[in-house]
Structure formats: C-alpha cells, structure tokens
Structure 1
C-alpha cells in the first residue's frame, strides 16, 4: 500500500482496494483504488458529515445518474457509485495526466495552438456535459486534466448535490472557487440555481488564466475577487485575437449575453487564427483527419499524479511532447462532436439549451445552416427566415404546440380546468401544450386559453407523500422544471422521451390506479415514455 495514505483512511470501499490518496477538496477526498477486475480507478469519497443526510443521498443518487449520461470521450467516465455506503462514494475513470493548474504552474502561460487546444477541449467537454442536462458548477484549472488522449474535464455535476443540500451548506457558503464563479453565483438570496451560463463564465476565466497565468479578476482576498467579478471588467492583458473576443463574451456579467457551450465550440473551430498570449499560430488544416468515435476516452476521472514531495516540481518530459501536439489533438477531438456528442440526450440532432433555473442563458445549440436563434427574454427560439427547421427541434424549442403522447398506453396527457392531469384521446384543447425551454430543462405549459390559472405542469406532494402531476403557476421551480431524456421510439418511429423532475422523479403511468404520478424508480428502467406529436405553430 502506498505511503500516501493517512491514518484512518479506508483500506477498502465496497469492492475497491484503496491504494493511495490523490487529493482533497471541499466535497471530500479522492483515492486511487483497484477494481475487482484489476483496473485502476479513482474513488471520490464524500464528507463524513453527509453520511446520514437522506436529502443529500437522494440528490447524490440523482446527480450520479445524470453524470452517467455524459459521453465519456472528453470527461472521466463514471463507472460506479454507492450513495447508500457509509460514507457515500463515486467511482470514475482514473486519468493519467497533470491538471491545467499544474501545467501552468510548472511551465508558465500557454500560447498559440497549445492555448487554443485547451479552449477547444474544455468547450467540447462542456457541450457534452450540458447536452446531457448536467451543469459542472466547479470548473477550474485544477479540474481540467491534460491527458495523453485529450483534454479531460473532471468533477462535473456532483457539486449540485452538495450545494443544494441545506444541512451541509452554511449561510453564504457555496461549492466552487471564487476566481471562477459567475456573478449570478453570488446571488444566494434569490434561491435560483446557477445554470450552464455559469460554466461558460468559468470557461472564460479558465482560458484567461491559461493564457496569462493569473485570474482576470484577481484580488488580494476572496472578497475582493468577488467584488471585481460583480463590478469590474476582466483584465485580459496578454490575450489577443479571436480567442480574446470569445473570452470577453464568456465573461459578460449578464448570463443571457454569454454564448452557449456549442456556440463557443463553433467560434473556436471557425476562428481564422488561434492567437493567445502574444503567440500567433496558424489554425490547423481546414480538413482535419477523420476519427472513429470509438477513439474517445473518459471524463470525470481524478488526477493521476499523487500529491507529495516526490512529485513536486518535476515535469514529466512526455508532457512537453503532448503539449506540442495539443492543438492538433483538440481539433481532431472536435471532429467527433457532430456524430458522437450527446449520446442518449441527442434531441433530434440538437442539444438542449445551455442554462437552467429562471434565466435562459442563450440560444439553442446550432446544427449548421438550419440552426435556430433564441430570444433570451422569453427563452424561446425562432427560426431563421431562410432556414429549414426540423419539426422536432421546433417542438423542443417551444415553437410548436404538442400532444404529450403516452407511448405505452397510446393515450395523451391533458390538463382540464380542475387542475389535475389526466389521460385522454388528445382531441380537446386541454391536451395541447408547449415546451418552454428554461436552460437545460423545460416548463410544460398548456396552451388552452380557458386555463388561465396555473397552466403549467407541476408536481404536488400530498400529506402521505404521494406525488401527483397537476396544474401549477408558470414559474421555474423544483416542482415545475422537467428534463427530457431520449429513450427509444414509439410505434410510429417518433423519438420517445422520459419526462423527469429532478426533485421528485420521472412522470409515470400507473396501470393499477389508471392515473399519472411522479416517483423515483431507483435503478429500474423507465416504464413510461412520451412522444411529441406536432399540432401546429404556437
């Protein structure tokens, strides 16, 4: 056993033999371990004070399930988790390679193709993470690994379970590193969760750090840094060219003014010349080599270099060779995006929007000439006059009325005036809905003009803990925001989706009670799916 372990560290976690301690953070400790199959893995053990917090365990389980949906080619793959263990733990791919923080610390600021490759790699990872309905919440140089197979973003998504659990978070305390926090993250009074736009802000601060070796909002204390983030423009001295423009947009104070992760990626791949830190570099060939998606790696792994005196200050000579080729590798990885990026969450060729909570953070992900644009004030997208918009994309963008067709029973949801959701034949006005994007989630709103009071679907829990689907006020909240997960097709070949509320679980049909309800399934597969039936423009 490695000498890096401390007294009191576990020898085993479930079926995993603990070999070494890799690091510590605000959420817990990370260990190097060996799986029962002999594979080296990283095991993140959450803080002991959360072991008996049922609220945390439920959120942890939900976030782990979301994290598993992220394609692993640019993140450390989630391999296993046990929310019921004491303490709970998460097992992810073990990634060989230094963190970006370590690279900059040892080699100084990056420039040219190196910097552009970092920017592309992290933007690619964020596009995949956001496309799966996950928000990182703690993106920083220490959570970006420069691995031999490509840039890997780690520790995504799970921060939400910690940040949203009231018992672990003291007043005005939050998960994250101040230098990379978006202005909206400091608004604790509103109770609104930060959306993917906060990750975009962190991307801008991270790229600026990689280019200059310092924070664009650096202060002599966390409080001073926070005040600069809230009130001052970023200091981007030393960062030039098209990359500077993208970073400036990413660091806008208003979340709605920032680009989405996909827009960042598009901008990086179409930049005429990636220029950073005064070191111009010609963009790699216009026709990158074709790469099989099977070449992708994993994503949420922990650092491979254990901390300790033996490692301090030593630069692996292989690392320099990798950094020299980094720009080329990142451009090749980006080729995988159109065909491989969103996995099961690929919604008719378009990702869900970047943002969550009550403030939409930008336009839907674009898919080329037939892209849509958004109106941030409403969260809806409107088709470009010259574009041919895919009907499925239009429904998901809130531009079309839809029937929510229950695939398994060949019936449709309806919201009658009495306010309790029913199923029927889809012929009445109360069966017509529109999906209103709110970041990566949706509010589902009835378009029946007779239902002026509480026209959005929401979850109501009765005194016995039974969760029903009812009419609710159209305000983004934990009861009214739903995620759509792609889950096969219906009998007519239309995409089918699970409709899931993060707080209460998936929307399901009860054959015994002949009614719709909402409940977590644990590890069981979804047994109720919905297809979207187009019923004309809104």
Structure 2
C-alpha cells in the first residue's frame, strides 16, 4: 500500500508520474509511479548526497546494466533507469503484495507447505540473479514480496554501487541488514571479495526467519548479532526437516562450504533429505587435481603454473555442475511449478496440508538420472568452464570476425586470426568479475593479464599488465541486449571496466580502446571460443 506524496516531493521523474510513496531506506526513496502507458511501476530515486558523485554514477550504470540481464521469473523486472538524471533513478515492476516480513509480523511463521514454496521461490530467484552475474547483497524478508502466482525478490543488483562508494559508506554503514549478512561481510579488510555465497547465507537466514519468526543469530543488539554470526552456530530449533539440511549448509561460516543457488534447488526438490557428505570437487578432464572442499583455495586462487580453481559457489548459476543441460532445465521447471503454489499454500489453515497436486511434486526422474562422465560438453557447459577459469578461450570480436591477441612484449592488445598461444586466454573469476590472463608464454614466471593503460593524450588502451587485482585489470562480462549471439550462435558479451568503460574495437585504426559510452550501447561485442582444459598445475 502506498502513502501520499509529501510536500516538496517531485511530481515527475523523467517520463514517469509520481503518485505515492512506497518506502524509504539507506539507498533512497521508493515511489509508486505511472508510466506513459499507464502501467504502475516502482521508482527508486537515489539519495541526494550521491547525485554529484561521478564514481557512484558509473557504478550505478554498471549495476543497472547487470540487473537488466536477470530473467524476471521470481524477480521484479528492471524496466528502466536513468543514471544521468538529476537525481538518478531506477524503475522496476510494481508488485502489489505484502512482503515476507509483513506477513510473518501479521500472521506468524509459515506453515510447512508454504515455507517450502517460499524457500524454492527465493532459491529460484537467486539462480536467475546469480546466472546474470549479479549479487543481491541485501536479501532479507522485506525484499521478498508475495505476488499473484508466486513470490518476487526485489532490490537486487544495485546495492554494490552504494556499498562500493567509500566516501559515502563507512564501515559501520554497510549496505544490508545485519541479521542476514554473511560472516565475510563484516571483515572486508581480509581482501576477500563478496561473492554469491553471501546471498546463499542470507537465504538460509531468511528461510529460518520465515519458519520460526526469529533470525537464527538473534541477539539484543546489532553488534551482538554480528558477533554471533561470526562465532556461534545458528539456532535452528523449530525448523522443519524439509528445509533444515539446506539451511544448515547455507549458514556455514566459510563461504566455500555453502551450496550454490542451483544446488539449493536440488536439495529442496529432493525433499531436503540429503545427508552431509565428504565431497571432492573434480575439475573437468585435464584440469587441476581434485581439491577437497575442506582445503579449497580462496576465490580466484592462481597456482604458480597458472591453473585456477574457483569455489563452486561463485561460478555463474549457468554452470551446470556436470549435469546435462536438459536436467538443469527440468529442475528449474519443477522449481517454478513448485513456487507457484506459495500464495495459496500460505493461507491454508494452520496444520493443514496442500492438496496432492502431482504437478507441484518434484519429479523423481529429474534426480535419478545422471550423465556419464564421458558425455560431450554442451555449449553451456563449455561457456561455464571458460567463465569458471577451467578452460582456455579465444576472445572473439563478433563484428569483425577476429580474435584478441597479445603478441610481443605485452604491449597493446590487437585483433588477429586466432592462431597461436598469443590468442589464448584464461578467465580468473573474482566474484562476479574477472581478470583475463594471457597464455602466450607459459614459460614466463610472471603472469600477465589484460589491463587498461591511459596514454598521454588521454586515450585508454588495452595492454598486458601484471595479474594484480586493481581497478585497471578487473572486467565485467555483460550479456548483450536481446541475448544476441555471434555467427556461430555463441552468446555475446560486452567487456566492461567499471573505472574506464567498455572495450571497443576501432576498425579503421585497427586498435582496441576503452571508453564509456552514452545512451547508445557499445558497438563491440565478444564471444568466447572453447580451446579445451587448462593444463594441470605443476607439482610443487
């Protein structure tokens, strides 16, 4: 339900008429608006103190571009944004329904059936969000809304723009609600990036709250709650068996021990009956030796020989985890069917069961089959292996049918014919971002990645640089508008650096440069050509 506008509130933002207030928070004010077509929308107007911050606007633009790639099932669709408006704003689908926080406050904890549907719905939303390279960062009951036919997760994809603007966000003002924040978020000084695993922790805390009406680390103050998150096991008393195992795993202190969003779906659709196992993560054939989850290195760990073993839970949600694409789609379809029962199930009388509708039951066949280890990799599996840092790749310039190359002395990157080691690269995952390592000279003890160099005339060029995590060497892969593909039907991406802009190809001058673009999308798009597994790390 919206509240009236206050004196001094604007009547319009861009093309949108403002007709009421929906809420206010640390990021800004949310208005109920009406678009030119008469559709009701929710409009988040950014805080006034951030209006003149160029760094914030750049990050806001980047995060909005990411958020637009998120499929709209179980999430509120991102419809529009104007980072250059005074003030900047974001337009999303308006969901006319109560939040999970309001529902629990008014009616108490959910019944087992409704709880399971909510858990599946949020996990489905996280699968979509993480698959688009986005981390929510502020998942909490207030950001889970009941809608017709299911639930909608809102406010994803822009928290990073606020959190990363250091002059406006002090260490005691991190974006997020303490009770749902993962342990690693309280100690950013240790150098670990926030990954998708932080959202998985929040999922566990939200589901526990929905089941019991209290958070699993509840204490008398925010600092005391943070201390319990860091040092104490969760209080899961009263949690139904159907979700207990998944919640326990999600609330692990170490992010690498938490499941990914898709694995959560598997656990929930299997009835939550899985038992803890000692799991060994086995990379694809020809890559690094098996790594025990207990000894798994930190995200983006680079071995002396150049092999990279990323945590499974920071891989894109599109990574199939050694299952066939058909099984993945079947599991997601079952998840969506299960999630559609959430509203009806919530309002059943306490203690009653949902009607036995076979269309909402998880399919045993979806969990009994498994592809053979020798199965040929699908296109999605190859892309996941490249983005996970396990396979070599060519970086194909789709518009000119050429491939990036770093030739001699690690100077400017050029576009060539895709032959030789100079054209091969490996991605190093850093949460949802990447460093791009050249494989041109495996005998060189130093490692070189792609980086941005500012020339004397102010132009920015793509060059070879030391593989150090810096603003010049970290890039995002943004899926192109309309999910376009190249001539071989491979997905295409924009390569984007948050500080300097998009990687572009000058076809006349035959060089690559980096530049922010205006309202029009960047002209250069890139696809990734699988060149097989990376060599295993050499014995120490």
1:167 CA drift (Å): 2.4
Please say if residues 114 and 345 of structure 2, whose CA atoms lie closer than 8 Å, have aligned partners that are also in contact: no
CA distance in 1, matches of 2:134, 2:4: 33
1:485 CA drift (Å): 3.9
1:163 CA drift (Å): 0.6
Give 2:452's aligned residue. 459
Give 2:246's aligned residue. 246
Whether 1:489 aligns to 2:485 is: yes
Q: Which runs of no fewer than 5 residues in structure 1 stay unpaired?
A: 275-286, 298-315, 339-365, 371-383
1:169 CA drift (Å): 1.1
Whether 1:436 aligns to 2:432 is: no
1:79 CA drift (Å): 1.6
Give 2:262's aligned residue. 262
Whether 1:527 aligns to 2:527 is: no
Deviations 1:91-115 (CA, angstroms, capped at 9, x unpaired): 1111011000011111111131110
1:242 CA drift (Å): 4.1
CA distance in 2, matches of 1:326, 1:150: 15
User: Which of 434, 438, 442 matches 1:449?
Assistant: 442
CA distance in 1, matches of 2:3, 2:425: 60
Correspondence list, 1:19-98, <5 A: 19-98=19-98
1:526 CA drift (Å): 3.5
User: Which of 386, 396, 401 matches 1:410?
Assistant: 401
SS in structure 1 opposite 2:436?
strand
Please say if residues 81 and 89 of structure 2, whose CA atoms lie closer than 8 Å, have aligned partners that are also in contact: yes
Give 1:195's aligned residue. 195
Backbone CA RMSD of aligned residues: 3.6
TM-score by length of 1: 0.78
Correspondence list, 1:162-177, <5 A: 162-177=162-177
1:68 CA drift (Å): 1.0
Give 1:354's aligned residue. none
Deviations 1:433-488 (CA, angstroms, capped at 9, x unpaired): 12333333333222221444342222233465432222223344443333334453
Correspondence list, 1:367-516, <5 A: 369-370=370-371, 385-390=373-378, 391-420=382-411, 421-447=413-439, 448-462=441-455, 464-487=457-480, 488-516=484-512
Equivalenced residues, count: 466
1:325 CA drift (Å): 9.7
CA distance in 1, matches of 2:165, 2:501: 17
User: Structure 1 residues 211, 252: closer, same or farther in 2, change over 3 A?
Assistant: same
User: Structure 1 residues 369, 233: closer, same or farther in 2, change over 3 A?
Assistant: same
CA distance in 2, matches of 1:496, 1:65: 15
Please say if residues 432 and 476 of structure 2, whose CA atoms lie closer than 8 Å, have aligned partners that are also in contact: yes
Please say if residues 118 and 330 of structure 1, whose CA atoms lie closer than 8 Å, have aligned partners that are also in contact: no
Deviations 1:231-272 (CA, angstroms, capped at 9, x unpaired): 111111111314111111111111111111111112111226
User: Structure 1 residues 497, 290: closer, same or farther in 2, change over 3 A?
Assistant: closer
CA distance in 1, matches of 2:141, 2:214: 11
User: Structure 1 residues 393, 162: closer, same or farther in 2, change over 3 A?
Assistant: closer
CA distance in 1, matches of 2:201, 2:359: 22
CA distance in 1, matches of 2:501, 2:15: 29
Whether 1:320 aligns to 2:347 is: yes
Deviations 1:479-510 (CA, angstroms, capped at 9, x unpaired): 33333344533334444333233443322111
User: Structure 1 residues 537, 424: closer, same or farther in 2, change over 3 A?
Assistant: same
1:411 CA drift (Å): 2.2
Please say if residues 509 and 528 of structure 1, whose CA atoms lie closer than 8 Å, have aligned partners that are also in contact: yes
Please say if residues 396 and 529 of structure 2, whose CA atoms lie closer than 8 Å, have aligned partners that are also in contact: yes
SS in structure 1 opposite 2:96?
coil
SS in structure 2 opposite 1:489?
coil
Please say if residues 117 and 331 of structure 1, whose CA atoms lie closer than 8 Å, have aligned partners that are also in contact: no
Give 2:117's aligned residue. 117
SS in structure 1 opposite 2:173?
coil
Please say if residues 494 and 522 of structure 2, whose CA atoms lie closer than 8 Å, have aligned partners that are also in contact: yes
Please say if residues 369 and 387 of structure 1, whose CA atoms lie closer than 8 Å, have aligned partners that are also in contact: no
Please say if residues 114 and 327 of structure 1, whose CA atoms lie closer than 8 Å, have aligned partners that are also in contact: no
SS in structure 1 opposite 2:30?
strand
Please say if residues 65 and 478 of structure 2, whose CA atoms lie closer than 8 Å, have aligned partners that are also in contact: no
Please say if residues 41 and 93 of structure 1, whose CA atoms lie closer than 8 Å, have aligned partners that are also in contact: yes
Please say if residues 398 and 434 of structure 1, whose CA atoms lie closer than 8 Å, have aligned partners that are also in contact: yes
1:161 CA drift (Å): 0.9
CA distance in 1, matches of 2:354, 2:466: 50
SS in structure 2 opposite 1:151?
strand
Give 1:186's aligned residue. 186
1:3 CA drift (Å): 6.4
SS in structure 2 opposite 1:74?
coil
SS in structure 1 opposite 2:189?
coil
Please say if residues 138 and 155 of structure 1, whose CA atoms lie closer than 8 Å, have aligned partners that are also in contact: yes
Please say if residues 150 and 330 of structure 1, whose CA atoms lie closer than 8 Å, have aligned partners that are also in contact: no
CA distance in 1, matches of 2:349, 2:38: 27
1:203 CA drift (Å): 0.3
SS in structure 2 opposite 1:216?
coil
User: Structure 1 residues 481, 266: closer, same or farther in 2, change over 3 A?
Assistant: farther
Give 1:218's aligned residue. 218
